[in-house]
Amino acid sequence: MTGKRPSITKTPSVAEYQRIRKYVIDSVLAAGNMPVRLASMRELAGEFGVSIATVQRALKELTDDGYLTARKGIGLFTNPDRAWLRGKCDVIGVLAADGRQIYFENFLWNLLASTGRAVTGTRRLLYNVSLMYTTERVLGSMELSSMAGMIWLGPDFAPSAAADGFARALKVPVVTVNDRREGFSCVSMDVEQEGYEVGRRLLAEGRTSPIVVAKRRGMLQIAGLERAFREAGVPFNDRLLVLRGAGMEERLGTMLDLLDAPQAIYAVGGMLRDIAPLLRRHKLDCGRCRLIGEASVWEPDFSGWVVDQDFDALATAACNRLFSEMRGGPRRDCLIPRIIREWKAGDSERF
């Protein structure tokens, strides 16, 4: 069955309205108790690279909303009654992935929500940076003049040369979250420590031969797991390492057939999503096999150890790092421990 095709409108883009609206609201806040005359429509059209008709429509909406007042024969002025922040207040930009997200999934939305609470909880304003339009135009316009710093969430979630170029062209401190970019401080989860902690817990239960399913051999979780085994003097069995790629399912299926009930299966990163159907077909006994996987892809009918993000800790650390750099502090990376907790099938706490 074919779904209905979305209609196409010919009205000016949301991005154009957003940029003009932000500029006007910034002007209102900066003016405070004194009405300040706005630039002419022709000047604004040239500044934002849009038609005079587009500026006219945007300013009419802002006037209707009370941000501007019209003085006949003179022009538009900021309205002091809408300058609800009298004192100086930092504006913190937040760039989610490539700045062009239409829909949000669990991870990025939780990260954005926690960052929003952390920023606004310090009596600062949050500006959602959108790169839906040309980044050169964003950087060249007056609309970002109020931004004191920026937090970049998950650059690798949607890699973008435009977002990289935008961040590097800014003249204010930038802190990345979850993914590193050269030249910026980064706040991320300590995934190597995650692997180390998983290893320690497995060894404490006498599980010395875990199957490890990963995207690639060099993942930091594997390095942490091997370190735990090495410190305990227990050999790590590389033959039980299953990597994503051709033949992965067949290799894992053979192991499940031969081992009957493996001691443990550690699905590193989001690999549980890839292997869940196979585990069901083999009717994995989670009572005998210790299953370990990410919360974002965990299946509620499984039992085992859920590895979760501490989104609030990530956001708080990112804000603290950014505010320090805004005060002239040095760049510095920060690692946040992950949460490993027990999950029993049927538990409705999260799912």
CATH number given to 14-82:
1.10.10.10
Least confident of 11-15, 157-161, 225-229: 11-15
| Strands 75-78 vs 68-71: parallel, antiparallel or unpaired | antiparallel
Q: Please compute the mean of the pLDDT values over residues 4-25 and round it to a whole number.
A: 67
pLDDT for 94 equals 96
pLDDT for 349 equals 61
Q: Please compute the mean of the pLDDT values over residues 156-167 and round it to a whole number.
A: 92
CB 337 within 8 A of CB 193: yes
pLDDT for 259 equals 86
Question: Of 72, 75, 79, 69, whose CA–CA distance to 40 is shortest?
Answer: 75
**According to the CATH classification, is domain 191-309 in 3.40.50.2300?**
yes
pLDDT category, 6, cuts 50, 70, 90?
low
pLDDT greater than 70 at residue 341? yes
Cα–Cα distance for residue pair 82/128, rounded to 1 Å: 21
Q: pLDDT (tens digit, 9 = 90+) per residue, 105-120?
A: 888 999 999 999 999 9
Domain residue extents for the chain: 14-82, 91-183, 191-309
- Of residues 82 and 88, more confidence is placed in 82
Its pTM stands at: 0.79
pLDDT for 265 equals 98
Q: pLDDT (tens digit, 9 = 90+) per residue, 292-328?
A: 999 988 888 899 999 999 999 999 999 999 999 999 9
Q: How large a percentage of the chain has pLDDT more than 90?
A: 64
Residue whose entry in the numeric block shows the structure tokens 């989104």: 311
What average pLDDT does the chain have? 88
- 3-class SS of residue 351: coil
CB 212 within 8 A of CB 268: yes
pLDDT category, 34, cuts 50, 70, 90?
confident
Q: Which two tokens stand for residue 242?
A: 């299953």
pLDDT category, 137, cuts 50, 70, 90?
low
pLDDT greater than 50 at residue 343? yes
Cα–Cα distance for residue pair 225/194, rounded to 1 Å: 8
- Of residues 114 and 13, more confidence is placed in 114
Least confident of 3-17, 101-115, 214-228, 274-288: 3-17
Q: Which two tokens stand for residue 170?
A: 């800014």
- Of residues 43 and 230, more confidence is placed in 230
* 91-183 and 191-309 in the same fold: yes
Strand partners, 211: 265
pLDDT for 9 equals 47
pLDDT greater than 60 at residue 243? yes
pLDDT category, 182, cuts 50, 70, 90?
very high
CATH number given to 91-183:
3.40.50.2300
- Of residues 16 and 110, more confidence is placed in 110
Cα–Cα distance for residue pair 318/241, rounded to 1 Å: 34
pLDDT for 212 equals 98
Signed CA dihedral, 23, 27, 30, 33: sign only? negative
Q: pLDDT (tens digit, 9 = 90+) per residue, 48-68?
A: 888 898 899 999 999 998 899
